[in-house]
Chains A and B, each alone.
Chain A
Amino acid sequence: MTRYVMSIDLRRCVGCQTCTAACKGANATPPGIQWRRVLDIESGEFPDVRRTFLPVACMHCANPPCEAVCPTRATTKRADGLVAIDYDLCIGCANCVMACPYDARSIVHESHFAYGDMPMASEAKRFDPDRIGVSMKCTFCVDRIDLAAITGQIPGVDPEVTPACVNSCISGAMQFGDIEDPQSSVSRLLQETQHYRMHEELGTEPGVYYIWDQS
């Protein structure tokens, strides 16, 4: 059984936001909406102060609270572990937005463009009216994952079928792959390191692992 997950090595992330830009380019999200974000967290008290970069997006949980609250089955968990939204079924009730403890979902009720109501040529070309008034979030670049089933390529290994954020990461902090495959880069990396998943106490079983030290 395939279960696609992502690992993010917090030791390596330099907060460059390249993944944020790559996601925006790949998915043409509207102004103000970022499916992938890198947070800049300052913690501690002087003189013991730390700064940590935290990349976040949809965690593609194994037990997604967004799926449980969806009144129309628009949000579903796929067999490969990806949490998907059917834009044609979604009624935009925002219940899933409230259910997600990772602030991963958003709804845009009116079309906005970078310079007001009129889109630039590039925006007009990629504008998707189906995404207005419905819930949306990171898809793990699902179109690329689905392409792998056709081409026989391996997500996380072949760039054409790997999420844009992972491809773009300049420090190699992000890895993607099948955690059920013991030979995948993600599986081997997680065996060699200490890691955690965010808000595990909520029982969501997120599919994103944060690496903080070696084993």
Chain B
Amino acid sequence: MKNPILRAANLASPKQQRNWDWRAASNFIAGGAGGGLLLLTSLATSLAAGFAPEVTRSAILLGLMLIGGGLTCVWFEIGRPWRALNVYRHFSTSWMTREAVVALVLFSFGALALLTLHPVFVVAAGILGLGFLYSQARILAANKGIPAWRHPRSIALMVATGLAEGGGFLACVVSISSAALAAPALLALIALIAIRVWFWKAYLGGLVADGAPDGALRVLSGLDARFVVLGHVLPALAVAAALAGMPGRAGLAFAAGIMVVASGWFLKYTLVRRAAFTQGLALSRLPVRGRGPAGAATKPGWKVTPGTKTG
């Protein structure tokens, strides 16, 4: 295929990032859901103590598999995979390092929780799952080159969607393994759905108010209606129907869980790949040439001009 001609005039505009593909996105997609699932499993077993051992085991195993699968995908992405252990050998304070360290401890406690189902190990795995999820949110937010990621509200959104996806997965696991979720668990799932949509709206509103590349705003605004309806309204209705005593309670909870997970994964894929436009380059002042005055600022690919808040 013939390469498109790059015009020098276009090089200053924000561009969709091409370095992190579906493999890197998978780490955020699967790892975040896995971390959320481990936390919610530990909360459910320590607070409600209502799950059968095989349900708890299945949920922990699924959480560990999601995190492991995500990390494996990202391992295939990096340029020098056989040097991956440099993360541990040359320790730094980056959030990617913290994610790697948390993952190491998480797998140790997760394995112990899986084998023994001892509450201490289950709770420890849950807390570490939350740590993993939070580290991932901070990895994205630390990237100043991508305005849609560095917005401070992206952290809460990533954590909220990870928890909601964890809740969705837990609903699926329980629905498959036993008759149905108890009412408190269904109410908790509705709460997680409500929290996620609230943080999504806050994030999108913040991004529009503070400024972002046109391309990123176009992609995220285009996602809004579908994400809200398919990821929140429909699953909330399904859960409400289950709570109201409609027949097929387990099926309704399963369907709600799948919708919550699928929409969260679609959000993260969109955020990591399609909405990830770079900052682009800008001129605060155009130079004085000859006897004319200096020109106004220019920031190709942005609606807002430099000097306004950029998040």
Contacts and interface: CB of A to CB of B under 8 A. Distances in A.
Interface of A: 9-11, 37-44, 50, 52, 54, 56, 65, 68-74, 89-95, 97-103, 107, 109, 132-135, 194, 196, 198-202, 204, 210-214
Interface stretch (B93-101, B184-192, B240-248, B254-262): B93-101
Contact of A91 (B87, B143, B276): B87
Given A94-B19, A101-B145, A103-B281, A42 B78 contact: no
A43 B143 contact: no
B91 to A, nearest CB: 8
Given A54-B283, A213-B287, 5 more contacts: A43-B286, A52-B286, A54-B12, A90-B80, A107-B19
Given A39-B8, A68-B142, A107 B90 contact: no
B176 interface: no
Contacts of B281: 39, 54, 56, 102-103, 198
Interface stretch (B28-36, B198-206, B293-301): B293-301
Looking at chain B's contact residues, is the secondary structure mostly helix, strand, loop, or mixed?
loop
A72 B284 contact: no
B149 interface: yes
Given A69-B94, A72-B86, A109-B79, A52 B279 contact: no
Given A43-B295, A52-B287, A95-B96, A134 B282 contact: no
A72 B90 contact: yes
B310 interface: yes
A98 B298 contact: no
A196 B289 CA distance: 17
Contacts of A73: 90-92
Contacts of A211: 287
Contacts of B78: 91-94
Contacts of B294: 212-213
A212 B287 contact: yes
Contacts of B306: 201
A100 B145 contact: yes
Interface in B1-54: 7-9, 11-12, 15, 17, 19-20, 24
Nearest to A134: B79
Given A43-B295, A109-B79, A196-B285, A89 B142 contact: no
Contacts of B87: 71-72, 91
B8 A10 contact: no
Contacts of B286: 10, 43, 50, 52, 212
Given A95-B139, A103-B145, A107-B79, A41 B283 contact: yes
A37 B96 CA distance: 30
A189 B205 CA distance: 43
Given A65-B142, A93-B78, A101-B279, A39 B287 contact: no
Contacts of A9: 287
Nearest to B138: A69
Nearest to B143: A98
Interface in B61-78: 74, 77-78
Contact of B288 (A101, A132, A135, A213): A213
Contacts of A94: 19-20, 24, 77-79
B11 A37 contact: yes
7 contacts: A42-B9, A50-B295, A69-B139, A95-B94, A95-B96, A103-B280, A199-B282
Contacts of A99: 142-145
Most buried by A among B20, B87, B90, B300: B90
B276 to A, nearest CB: 8
Most buried by A among B20, B285, B306: B285
